[in-house]
């Protein structure tokens, strides 16, 4: 019998919800940070040799530097090894992802404000991007598509994938196939903090990059945090969550299935139902009991649901929306009849799934929007991974002699007001010459 | 006699340039980080009381909590106290800044891919923004405009300014006047790491925010780094720089003036001339000698130019552009006849000033583009502060029953390929029901 926490009168008890979500984040990250800092320092100083040492120690593989990069032959072999249906499905997903992200492209522009005054901004792709792809149990080819394709659409010149080797020194063929479909330029068999270090600083073999993106374990996250500022990073990922808003007529079987699909990721994942129909909660619970037995990851699902699952009763849809905005969930399903009417009221959510026939997996794999999302309430201020992450801007200005003369009074006044007379001098000398 | 380093054959010696720039960043930031971490912890736990304690200790002012916020009366008094010319110049600058940033606004969009499939993204302003404004010597009203106006244009609901009080418990009237013109909603007299802490966590008196922007001292920077992920931050600011590209006919008096205008900010600032006209370097040096004596900050200018100034000789314009892109300067002046022809070749620069009559101060104060810029070579991947910093995105998806059915084969295949059968189940149950 599943025991999932229930909260009545959700609006008054929002603190309880936030506490539950926060309790998933380890308080003491210092020890992981220290390990990551050591790895960064050593790789920065020793380059390839340090990368190879850590790969031996953490992945149990003895490489020499020439074996770090995945070869053309390995990629070809992988493409043959993977099921053709799976390749076809990846390709179809890639088309949707590319189409969606193409809409995010920004353009350079300039305006002539008046004769002699031009201002504008240049938007350019970053030159090199590093995409981290976890290995082992959490090796998801879909994440390869979701991280590589936005970089490709942005126009990044060289996309470098970093992923840990298995005990045999290999990378999963599905990962290699996805990398090939998405358009990664080079792939290196290196994982953990040492992969982040190599990408941030560059080594003899692995090129330094301008941005490092993609999810990873706690050491990867800590290393990304530590190199932020020396390179760009996408976001700090924490445990993930889904919130489903449902009503009296919503289908409890669908809701149960979707709560489980989030829960199967991780015992720390949180699956939350919020509804103004108290009777629905019991129906969903019965469906969970019924469906869970068939799931291969039922132990993880059970642990996740019992520790971090929540059933929240609210008095009406408005109260449900308030809860949602306070929680700022990574994934939000509006499993209701009028989802588009509610959309404008959603202030904080990473990705929004509208209507009963839009389950989260259609977004995880296929529809086009990115699945690398702000977790753990950070949708309040962070955004899904996008083409925007892979570009940079420069502002630019041109003033003619006459235009400068006209503006010079104000500029000199402001510069002198700030006590910066070399600033004033630089305008004055042009006016007087 | 000024002694400024000279580098010949710049392209071969780019490492020397990078080393000089890097040498400005203290290697041992750990002690500042530790102090900032202590302040964060205490403010998080104790709220206002900790803020007041630190304000007493670091700013020498005894406040009670009710005195932390700047009053309407103080703002009115400030507006009267400040010179009307200065107010007028601030207002003119504000108009230009607002006009430029309005072009950066992004829109929500949605597409119907085919009947039954809608994808899109929602772009929304962050709810609350915290703008840090340094006090004391580095109190620049222009920075108030540059940080508050983009937030305002983005549509941020509440803009909270944080700035340290002087020994009398006051904030400089020019700062208050600029805040009023720019449209800050509330102003608190709190500085340093305690200001960042209060804005990140919220206290009884100071509201927690979603993003903290603006330059500050080393403790502010460290605190911003440490709260990143709990809130958004703009960037990690380091020592600043200007690079001026000039040619045979460029006016040496203008170049000297602009090198000094960067140098007067900070002994750690770096002013670099790069040119294919060796004879120009001597002329600029003579102009520096001539102009420096009149500058009120001539000691800072001298220290900056002698320690971190550079005159770089290159063989041609192409080599100059290569140098520029390797350095990725915060400010770049193209003091040449054909600046717009060179613009497409600039890959890395925070803000670009085109032509001899566009000195950096016109951008610092007036033209419109932001002056909060990526420093210390981070223009390789970071961008100027912009409206983009004050918004967030959500992706969204809608599939009809039929559309889901059509996609279900691919999605189930991908989910099962990743071993996530609860994901497959969530699609299958809708198909079969």
Mean pLDDT by groups of 10 residues along chain B of 433 residues: 85 82 78 94 98 96 96 95 96 98 97 96 98 83 97 98 95 96 98 98 98 93 92 86 97 98 93 96 97 96 96 94 95 97 97 98 97 94 98 98 97 95 96 79
User: Which pLDDT does position B27 carry in this prediction?
Assistant: 64
Same domain, B140 and B209: yes
User: Which pLDDT does position B137 carry in this prediction?
Assistant: 65
Choose the final residue of a domain: A182, A199, A233: A233
Judge whether B93 lies within some domain: no
| Tens digits of residue pLDDT in A343-395 | 999 999 999 999 999 999 999 999 999 999 999 899 999 999 999 999 999 99
Angle between helices B141-154 and A401-417 (to 10 degrees): 110
In B112-207, alpha helices (H): 141-154, 173-182, 192-201
Same domain, A408 and A299: no
Q: How distant, in Å, are the alpha carbons of A74, A260, A293, B298, B429 from that of A300? A: 34, 10, 12, 67, 20
The answer to whether A198 and A245 have CB atoms below 8 angstroms apart is no
Alpha-carbon gap, residue B360 to B302, rounded angstroms: 19
Classified as helix, coil or strand, B81 is helix
Q: With 90 as the cut, is the pLDDT of residue A290 above it?
A: yes
Map tokens 């992981």 to a residue: A32
Q: How far does Cα B404 stand from its chain's mean position?
A: 45
Q: Which is nearest to B23 in space by CA: B285, B319, B303, B376?
A: B376
Q: Do A352 and B397 touch (CB under 8 A)?
A: yes
* Token pair listed for B257: 């003036």
Question: Is A360 among the annotated ligand-binding positions?
Answer: no
Alpha-carbon gap, residue B257 to B287, rounded angstroms: 8
Alpha-carbon gap, residue A40 to A226, rounded angstroms: 9
Alpha-carbon gap, residue B403 to B414, rounded angstroms: 17
Same domain, A210 and A101: yes
Residue in B384, B393, B394 nearest the CB of A395: B384
Same domain, A204 and A289: no
Q: What angle do CA B29, B32, B38 make, to 5 degrees?
A: 135
Judge whether A385 lies within some domain: no
What is the domain range of residue A277? 5-25+238-368
Q: Which is nearest to B333 in space by CA: B269, B261, B280?
A: B261
Cβ-Cβ contacts under 8 Å, A411 against chain B: 89, 361-362, 365-366
Q: For residue B340, what is the enclosing H or E element?
A: helix B339-342
Judge whether A395 lies within some domain: no
Judge whether A374 lies within some domain: no
For chain A, the residue count is 433
User: Which pLDDT does position A137 carry in this prediction?
Assistant: 65
Considering only the C-alpha atoms of chain B, give the largest distance between any 2 of them, rounded to a whole number of Å: 87
Q: Which is nearest to A425 in space by CA: B138, B333, B296?
A: B296
Alpha-carbon gap, residue A414 to B143, rounded angstroms: 11
* CA distance to partner chain B, nearest, from residue A303 (Å): 15
Judge whether B45 lies within some domain: yes
Residue in A103, A231, A354 nearest the CB of B398: A354
Residue in B211, B225, B381 nearest the CB of A381: B211
Judge whether B255 lies within some domain: yes
Alpha-carbon gap, residue B235 to B214, rounded angstroms: 8
Judge whether A380 lies within some domain: no
Q: Do B369 and A397 touch (CB under 8 A)?
A: yes
Same domain, B283 and B363: yes
B21: Cβ contacts below 8 Å, ≥ 6 apart: B241, B270, B308, B327, B376, B377
The answer to whether A349 and A324 have CB atoms below 8 angstroms apart is yes
Same domain, A335 and A426: no
Classified as helix, coil or strand, B58 is helix
* CA distance to partner chain B, nearest, from residue A249 (Å): 15
Q: Which is nearest to B231 in space by CA: B378, B392, B379, B101?
A: B392
User: Which pLDDT does position A240 carry in this prediction?
Assistant: 87
Classified as helix, coil or strand, A347 is coil
Same domain, B244 and B222: no
Q: Considering only alpha carbons, which residue of chain A is nearest residue B136?
A: A418
Q: Do A397 and B357 touch (CB under 8 A)?
A: no
Choose the final residue of a domain: A320, A351, A368: A368
B290: Cβ contacts below 8 Å, ≥ 6 apart: B256
Judge whether B188 lies within some domain: yes
Cβ-Cβ contacts under 8 Å, B265 against chain A: 420
Q: For residue A271, what is the enclosing H or E element?
A: strand A270-275
Q: With 90 as the cut, is the pLDDT of residue A239 above it?
A: no
Q: Considering only alpha carbons, which residue of chain B is nearest residue A298?
A: B422
Same domain, A253 and A195: no
CA-CA-CA-CA dihedral for A400, A401, A404, A409, to nearest 10? -160
Q: Do A260 and B425 touch (CB under 8 A)?
A: yes
* CA distance to partner chain B, nearest, from residue A362 (Å): 7
* CA distance to partner chain B, nearest, from residue A55 (Å): 25
Same domain, B419 and B318: no
* CA distance to partner chain B, nearest, from residue A323 (Å): 16
Q: Do B430 and A357 touch (CB under 8 A)?
A: yes
Same domain, A321 and A354: yes
User: Which pLDDT does position A433 carry in this prediction?
Assistant: 67
Q: Which residues of B are catalytic?
A: 330-331
Q: Which is nearest to B188 in space by CA: B174, B176, B200, B201?
A: B176
| Tens digits of residue pLDDT in A86-117 | 999 999 999 999 999 999 999 999 999 899 99
Task: Quote the number of domains for chain A.
Answer: 3
B60: left (phi over 0), alpha (psi -120 to 50) or beta: left
Question: Is A110 among the annotated ligand-binding positions?
Answer: no
Cβ-Cβ contacts under 8 Å, B257 against chain A: 422, 425-426, 429
Between chain A and chain B, the number of residue pairs with CB atoms below 8 A apart is 381
Q: Other C-beta atoms within 10 Å of A146: how many?
A: 29
Q: With 80 as the cut, is the pLDDT of residue A237 above it?
A: no
Choose the final residue of a domain: A184, A200, A233: A233
**What are the strands of the beta sheet with B186-189, ordered from one edge?**
B186-189, B158-163, B128-132, B211-213, B232-233
| Beta-bridge partners for B69 | B188
Test the B interface: residue of A44, A137, A381 with most B CBs within 10 Å: A381
User: Which pLDDT does position A27 carry in this prediction?
Assistant: 64
Question: Is A194 among the annotated ligand-binding positions?
Answer: yes
Cβ-Cβ contacts under 8 Å, A417 against chain B: 83, 86, 89, 141, 174
> For position B260, which CATH number holds?
3.40.50.1980
B74: Cβ contacts below 8 Å, ≥ 6 apart: B170, B171, B176
User: Which pLDDT does position A342 carry in this prediction?
Assistant: 97
The answer to whether B373 and B389 have CB atoms below 8 angstroms apart is no
Alpha-carbon gap, residue A53 to A178, rounded angstroms: 28
Work out the end-to-end distance of chain A between its first and last CA atoms, rounded to an integer number of angstroms: 87
Test the B interface: residue of A37, A414, A428 with most B CBs within 10 Å: A414
* Token pair listed for B202: 């919220």
A269: Cβ contacts below 8 Å, ≥ 6 apart: A239, A240, A241, A242, A262, A263, A304, A308
Q: Considering only alpha carbons, which residue of chain A is nearest residue B236?
A: A229
* CA distance to partner chain B, nearest, from residue A140 (Å): 6
Same domain, A187 and A66: yes
Cβ-Cβ contacts under 8 Å, B301 against chain A: 422
Alpha-carbon gap, residue A53 to A64, rounded angstroms: 10
Q: Do A367 and B399 touch (CB under 8 A)?
A: yes
Q: Considering only alpha carbons, which residue of chain B is nearest residue A353?
A: B397
User: Which pLDDT does position B138 carry in this prediction?
Assistant: 64
Cβ-Cβ contacts under 8 Å, B92 against chain A: 410
Q: Considering only alpha carbons, which residue of chain A is nearest residue B332?
A: A396
Same domain, B19 and B77: no
Residue in B228, B261, B429 nearest the CB of A422: B261
């Amino acid at each position: 019998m599943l025991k999932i926490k229930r909260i009545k009168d959700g609006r008054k008890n929002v603190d309880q919800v936030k506490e539950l979500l926060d309790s998933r984040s380890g308080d003491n990250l210092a020890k992981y940070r220290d390990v990551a800092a050591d790895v960064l320092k050593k790789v920065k100083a020793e380059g390839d040799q340090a990368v190879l040492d850590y790969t031996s120690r953490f992945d149990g593989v003895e490489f020499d530097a020439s074996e770090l990069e995945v070869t053309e032959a390995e990629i070809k072999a992988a493409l043959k090894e993977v099921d053709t249906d799976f390749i076809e499905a990846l390709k179809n997903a890639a088309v949707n992802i590319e189409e969606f992200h193409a809409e995010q492209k920004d353009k350079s522009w300039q305006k002539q404000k008046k004769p002699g005054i031009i201002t504008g901004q240049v938007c350019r792709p970053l030159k090199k991007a590093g995409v981290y792809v976890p290995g082992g149990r959490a090796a998801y080819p879909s994440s390869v598509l979701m991280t590589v394709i936005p970089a490709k659409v942005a126009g990044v010149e060289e996309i470098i994938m970093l992923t840990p080797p298995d005990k045999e020194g290999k990378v999963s063929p599905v990962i290699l196939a996805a990398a090939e479909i998405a358009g990664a330029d080079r792939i290196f068999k290196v994982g953990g903090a040492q992969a982040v270090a190599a990408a941030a600083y560059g080594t003899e073999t692995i090129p330094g990059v301008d941005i490092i993106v993609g999810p990873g374990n706690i050491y990867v996250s800590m290393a990304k945090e530590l190199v932020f500022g020396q390179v760009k990073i996408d976001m700090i990922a924490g445990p993930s969550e889904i919130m489903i808003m449902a009503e009296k007529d919503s289908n409890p079987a669908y809701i149960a299935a979707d709560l489980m699909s989030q829960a199967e990721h991780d015992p720390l994942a949180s699956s939350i139902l919020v509804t103004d129909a108290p009777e629905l909660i019991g129906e969903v619970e019965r469906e969970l009991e019924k469906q869970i037995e068939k799931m291969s990851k039922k132990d993880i699902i059970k642990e996740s649901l019992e520790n971090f699952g929540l059933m929240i009763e609210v008095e009406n849809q408005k109260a449900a929306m308030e809860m949602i905005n306070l929680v700022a969930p990574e994934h939000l399903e509006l499993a209701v009849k009028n989802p588009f009417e509610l959309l404008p009221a959603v202030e904080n959510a990473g990705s929004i799934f509208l209507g009963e026939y839009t389950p989260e997996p259609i977004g995880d794999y296929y529809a086009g929007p990115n699945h690398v999302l702000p977790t753990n309430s950070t949708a309040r201020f962070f955004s899904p991974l996008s083409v925007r992450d892979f570009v940079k801007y420069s502002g630019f200005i041109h003033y003619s002699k006459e235009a400068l003369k006209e503006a010079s009074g104000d500029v000199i006044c402001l510069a002198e007001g700030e006590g910066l007379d070399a600033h004033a001098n630089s305008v004055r000398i042009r006016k007087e010459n």
